[in-house]
Amino acid sequence: MIVVERVSKYYGARRAVADLSFEIREGECVGFLGLNGAGKSTTLRLLSCLLLPTSGSIRVRGLDVVSSPHEIRKLIGYLPDTPPLYPEMTVSEYLEFAGRLRGLSGADLDKRRARVSGLCSLDAVARSPISQLSHGYRQRVGIAQAIIHGPSLLILDEPIQGLDPVQIVEMRNMIGELRGEHTILLSTHILTEIEATCDRILVMHEGRIAAQGTEEELSAKLRADRALVLEVRGSAEALRGALAGLPELRELRIDAQGPEIVRASLRVDDALRERVSSSVVNAGLGLLSMHTESSGLEAVFLELSRHAGSASSSTPDAAPEPANQVAP
């Protein structure tokens, strides 16, 4: 449904996203995960035709965002990080306005408004001015405006931001209900949330996609991305000889560190680590140190896990899963 090719976006001289390429299939629920400032919101703004890319191309159902934004906007419902609400309007008036902007009118409009009001549990506040609503209700009105016209593509930027534990569970259920009807893209910096809601995860870091895949694929990638680093007293040749008996080694790199000291970096399955150390020692070399080094992806996850940890400690009901489920 969406094809993004080599897209970059600059705000003045500052680069927000760089060289993004990915595809989203029809009916998928995809989560953009990343720290604040990773480029998630910018990516979603580009996909919703709010901003145009500095370079590269974005096509939604074959339509280009630069040449046919008008047609693409008909397909899209978008909830920005701050819901775009007019405080002086009532919920019902606001939904009518949002529906009319998207081309609904007459009986269609009434039907859709009643449906999204029910789906987002807004019936009780339909006649209340938006200025009097709580944060949770505002967020729901924000989602209701995004789905009022039954868009094929629903883009939600941080939909659970600022919600309390009960509201987070409700929001998660609501997104669950919407999954069948729409292709959904959502962003969050809370790891547990994205695991609970999405089919596929795109991890963003410093404006780039650090990794993508299902939760299991990412876990595997995370393990594979870990490098084992050895510091050994001996020569590079001797070390290479000692490790030659382990065919499962990948990306072996050996650098001289000083007189008679070499540093080796390699990738190997966790289970084989013990054999690496014994091979070095049995070859008569001095094993000075051995440790694993995190990749960029793991750094992102560690940071996210820390966030999830603090979120789950403050919201124990909503996030009972272990915070670092993805990490091995």
Partner 1 sequence: MNNIMIVARRELGSYLRTPSGYLIAAATLLVQGLLFNTRALGDGAKLSSQVLIDFLRDSSGTTTVAAVLLTMRLFAEERQSGTLVLLFTSPVRESEIVVGKFLSAFVVLSLLILASAYLPALIFVNGKVSIGHIVAGYVGLLLLGAATLSLGVLGSALARTQIMAGVLSAVFIFMFFLAWALSSVVEPPLGTVIAHFSLYEMHFFPFMRGLVQLSDVVYYASLTYLALLASTRVIQSQRWQ
Q: What's the min distance (Å) between Cβ of 208 and partner 1? A: 22
Q: Which is nearer to partner 1, 1 or 238 (CB)?
A: 1
Q: How far apart are CA 69 and CA 13, in angstroms?
A: 25
Binding of residue 192 to partner 1 (CB under 8 A): no
Q: Which is nearer to partner 1, 12 or 284 (CB)?
A: 12
Q: What's the min distance (Å) between Cβ of 71 and partner 1? A: 8
User: What does the per-residue mask of binding to partner 1 show for 78-97, with x meaning CB under 8 A?
Assistant: x-x-xxxxx-xx---x---x
Binding of residue 14 to partner 1 (CB under 8 A): no
**Contact criterion met (CB below 8 Å) for 308 and 319:** yes
Region near partner 1 per CB under 8 A, out of 31-39, 66-74, 233-241, 274-282: 66-74
- The full 3-state SS of 122-187, as one line of letters, equals CHHHCCCEHHHCCHHHHHHHHHHHHHCCCCCEEEEECCCCCCCHHHHHHHHHHHHHHCCCCEEEEE
Binding of residue 194 to partner 1 (CB under 8 A): no
Binding of residue 322 to partner 1 (CB under 8 A): no
**Strand order across the 227-233 sheet:** 250-258, 261-267, 227-233, 286-293
Q: How far apart are CA 100 and CA 109, in angstroms?
A: 8
Q: How far apart are CA 155 and CA 79, in angstroms?
A: 6
Out of 73, 189, 200, 226, point to the residue binding partner 1 (CB under 8 A): 73
Binding of residue 145 to partner 1 (CB under 8 A): yes
Residues 27-56 touching partner 1, rule: CB under 8 A, are: 48-52
Bridge pairing between strands 227-233 and 208-213: unpaired
Binding site for partner 1 (CB under 8 A): 11-12, 48-52, 69-71, 73-74, 76, 78, 80, 82-86, 88-89, 93, 97-98, 100-103, 145
